[in-house]
Amino acid sequence: MALSGVLLVLLFLLPQGLGAQRNYNLFVKQWNSAVQTRDKKKEARLLKTYPAEAISHFRLLCDRYNISGANAAAEAMENMKDVWAQVFGTKTLQFIENMRSELDSDGLKLMRKLDIRRRQAWGLLEVAKKTKKPEDFKKARDEMMAVANALEELGEKLQAAECVLGYVTVLYESPKKNKADVQSMVEALDRYERLHKEWDWTKGKAFKRNQSWAKAIRAQVKKGQTPGKEPQKKKGQGIKLDPHGENQKLGKFLKGSKWVKEDLYISKMKKLEEGISFHASAWPLAWRGIFLEGAAPEPMDGFKDGPVTIQRLGASKYVAVVDRDNPKSKKVPLKIGPKPRSMYVPYIKDDEQTEYAFWFYIGGTQVEVGGVPLNLSPQWGREKTALIFYRSASILSCKIAGQEVKLYDENFNGIVGEDPGSVIFGDYRLGGGLEKVQGHPSVDSMRIGGDKHLLPFSRYVKLGDNWYRLRVLRNNERLNYRPLDPATVPTGRIVLKWKGPSKAKPKHVIVREMGFFKGAAFDLVAGGRKGVEVPIGEYEIFYGRIYNGKAPRASYSVLLKGKSPSIKVEAGKTVTVQMGAPFHLEFEKKQEGRNIVMDSSTFWIRGNFGVKYTSLMPEVLEPELVSAKDQNGKGLRKLGSWRRLEGNEMNSLRRKYSKIPILHLAFVPINKDTKNGITPLIKVPLDKAPFIGIRQAKHKMFGKLLPVWK
């Protein structure tokens, strides 16, 4: 996409409405003036006055840097982050940067479409308020929630929260509400607060106003009143709310304790092992890629600890440019080839040379992905191109209360100890279809003592009999820890039970706490039959992985939240999470004229407890399309089927979907009976499909996959 075209996209990301636009323009004008005159006090005042406008402007700077790599945009971002931290003491802008740094041109397009839909959803509410028609309120409500879900899946938490609040507003304004609607309002309000807390933004005036409104709604519900109707009050009587509640008794530090500071020491991984995240697996083709064209230096844009730059000087000659801003910079040779190797790469940080360890790999002419042979070998002739796959090979170590702890940078952005999901990768393999990229969350990990099982990094960790609070500071340089008062960390247990094929049993199932103990993350698999001890609170299944065998011939799958419910943990109690079979095949369908269109790139497996299994490799889905007369499957008929790609069929599919990464297309099954070229689509006349579904008699990993009738 040309830069001018992208800037047009960015214009859609500005605040809504004429008043909001005026405030935004006023903020930008005054902010730029303050930056030019280096008036830090004025910058601080502007952030206090216009925090929402500042967030919008920071998004714009992130996208500008993401597209052009301009140093000016990077410097502007760093300056605003510094002032923001001084004024609010939160990492909100860092979360925004982490998320938007992973957006490619397709991700920006999707963000633009969602922004348009977000505005249109608010317009639907205004229409409903005028017409008072139930169908108009329903239309506005459904669109608000659909956009909220899409934004959260992409990783944009604050805009998702805005739409969630819009959903509540629609229900609040609706003239007719039932008990289910009221419950949906309360759940949505909880989600609104959670999304803001996940991005550390609870100090804005808008959030505080909405939080007060939310408390009033909850109080009305508790009294049996319907929100949106004026409650009958007795004279002198009002709603008394405790703004702190029970949380003030939780998570207090042990009396007399202090933060203990431990330096982190870096070492290099010698053996390639599976991480928790798919992108940190032992299979190099799951790693991130950096594309080199010609002999031009190429920066690793996602790496935040310093400017790491790779250059190709010959057919098999690769170097690291130590200081990319210096034309006479030293260039250090890198041994990058068809065998994965770990090595230190030098770069400049804080005006001094430092280094970080990476794994590197380059594919060959016959690399098999899902049974499809791909040519990924570098070229050095008329075309000079190379695709280098890389992941972190660094281990950051220290001791906490006498126990050795090793931290792993699984999202390989140069920062360890991040909360799960603080970095999101764009991915077409998650069941969202080839027209939209979805967010693939990442997890930094850690290993405690001699434990072989890798754990997600958690701000709260139990070592021996004591709970500790962890903080990683100064980009991998130091870890601080402090013991907590045991009386303020009441705990329960979560036990994972699996029913289903052993090949599909997860190696990791990560849950994270969404309330007071935000930042606490645990692996249910690590608990075994006894389960995992966790602080009380409300948890959600966040991420998981399945892998069997050894790379590159291993079988893989990713596990996401899907439709799974939250897990409430109470003090002294055990909660059992039953996962596995039966497995059902979920899908999206579209209507085009008199036909229903089924796209295999939207398929995913729903297991027991509602979890989502996707990114299958190499055992891609090969289901058949079936119809029935009713939702019990009566009168079942087969209408078509899909199969994996074979031979050179990838080239035909690439011509249809030229913007999709080739490694993502290899996951897509194609129409087995197509007569019009290679395609994942099957079209069925409406009259042949009163109810429609997909099924697979036997999958090599998951066994029998049942249909969901729609």
What is the residue whose two structure tokens read 């920062």? 415
List pLDDT tens digits, range 67-122: 666 667 778 888 899 899 999 999 899 888 888 877 766 777 788 888 888 888 88
- How far is the first Cα of the chain from the last one, in angstroms, to the nearest whole number? 38
List pLDDT tens digits, range 534-543: 999 999 999 9
Q: Which helix (H) or strand (E) holds 523?
A: strand 521-523
- pTM, rounded to two decimals: 0.67
List pLDDT tens digits, range 163-173: 888 888 888 88
Virtual torsion, Cα 279, 280, 282, 285, nearest 10 deg: 30
693, 457 contact by CB (below 8 A)? no
Q: What is the 3-state secondary structure (H, E, C) of 333-402?
A: EECCCCCCEEEEEEEEECCEEEEEEEEEEECCCCEEECCEEECCCCEECCCEEEEEEEEECEEEEEEECC
pLDDT band at 124 (very low <50, low <70, confident <90, very high): confident
pLDDT at residue 325 above 50?
A: yes
pLDDT band at 372 (very low <50, low <70, confident <90, very high): confident
81, 54 contact by CB (below 8 A)? no
pLDDT band at 366 (very low <50, low <70, confident <90, very high): confident
Most confidently modeled range among 67-81, 225-239, 356-370: 356-370
List pLDDT tens digits, range 649-688: 888 888 888 888 888 888 899 999 876 678 999 998 888 7
Q: How far apart are CA 90 and CA 84, in angstroms?
A: 7
Residues comprising the chain, all counted = 710
Q: Per 3-state DSSP, what percentage of the chain is helix, strand, and coil (rounded to 5)?
A: 30, 30, 35
Pairing of strands 567-569, 537-548: antiparallel
Residue 469's closest CA among 194, 257, 276, 193? 257
